Amino acid sequence: MKYGLGVNVNETIHDTVEKSALAERLGYDYVWVSDVPEQRYAPVVASAIASRTKRIKIGLGLLSPFVHSPMQIASSVITLVETYGNRFELCLGPGDRNQLRRIGIDLSQLGGISERLLAARRDIENVLQKQEVKCAIWLGAQGPKMLGIARSFDGVLLNYGSPDLLEWAVDQIGHVKAQDFEFGVYALSYVYAKHNPNVYNLLKASCAAVALGASRSILKKLSIYKEVAKARRESEAGVSLESISASVNTRLVEFFSIHKHPSELNAYLAKLSKIGIENVVFGYPQDYSKMTVRELSRALRSES
């Protein structure tokens, strides 16, 4: 199993680079850089990370072809590979509904999202192949529609932490040849030796944000659709995410994140391996501090 750290691009680039360099020293396989359209462009942050590291693979994404054209995405990958070597991978997806709405893109008004993602994947791959650039292209997925096109990508990064949900998603995708496809998880995470309430509150708020952007089918499957629909109305009325996270179902953390003491991590990862998961990316707020980055590293070394 491979392990990655999702870095928070809301921080200064200096802090993001420092934590990424630490992740490399601690033996992580990947750092993943999310794209936040209203703040930072992931390839710029990835370039800064690559300039300070040598070995660690760097994931770009999730990148949305509804924000950046396939040619822009492909050109960014080509520039990074030409400058820093063959260390980059890419994750495509529609993007977070709430983030996109803030920059004027309403996914509910767009038709043929699955088809457009497949077309973007083909266009990007064609450009990369012409330049003889190798880069795995993952799909970031959660609901049935995205899972239905996952097999057209090199792998899928599933956006939840519950083993039951992950097993359901793997079953939805169906059997694939191991050498052609990789199942992965990219989930909000807090693996802790000593529990920090401040970090846990960030985790809860982030899980609430994921639930607000989740597909109706997933919310209904989890029996929380009505509750989240109410929370969405509150969010649109200006209620803060922190207030919403304090009132919504506490099981959101169980559904959408990896929240474990090191003593629980071994059994959890064993479950994921049995399901077929080969790649686990521990997302925000695991990178809250250098200490939390180290805590996860120690837990993973103990697990192995």
Q: What single string gives the DSSP state of each residue in 185-196?
A: EEEEEEE-SS--
Q: Looking at residue 217, what is its pLDDT?
A: 87
Nearest Cα to Cα of residue 187 among 162, 212, 167: 162
Domain formed by 2-190+259-303, architecture: Alpha-Beta Barrel (3.20)
pTM: 0.93
- The DSSP bridge pattern shows strands 30-33 and 57-63 to be parallel
Measured distance CA(142)–CA(160) in Å, rounded: 8
Distance of CA 30 to CAs 87, 162, 188, Å? 9, 22, 15
Q: Looking at residue 247, what is its pLDDT?
A: 65
Residue 269, pLDDT above cutoff 90: yes
State both tokens at 131. Answer: 């330049």
Q: Looking at residue 251, what is its pLDDT?
A: 85
Region of residue 282 (phi > 0: left; psi between -120 and 50: alpha; otherwise: beta) = beta
State both tokens at 178. Answer: 């191991």
Q: Looking at residue 225, what is its pLDDT?
A: 86
Question: Greater confidence, 98 or 112?
Answer: 112
State both tokens at 138. Answer: 């993952």
Measured distance CA(94)–CA(98) in Å, rounded: 12
pLDDT over 70, % of the chain: 96
- The DSSP bridge pattern shows strands 182-191 and 137-141 to be unpaired
The DSSP 8-state label assigned to residue 40 in this structure reads B
What does the radius of gyration of the chain's CA atoms come to, in whole angstroms? 18
Cis upstream peptide for 202 (omega within 30°): no
Provide the total of helices (H) and of strands (E) in the chain, helices listed first: 14, 9
Asked if 56 and 24 touch (Cβ cutoff 8 Å), the reply is yes
Report the pLDDT averaged over residues 101-122.
85
Query: What residues contact 134, with CB distance under 8 A and at least 6 apart?
Result: 81, 86, 128
pLDDT over 90, % of the chain: 70
The residue type found at 229 is A
Residue 154, pLDDT above cutoff 80: yes
Phi, psi of 220 (to 5 degrees): -70, -40
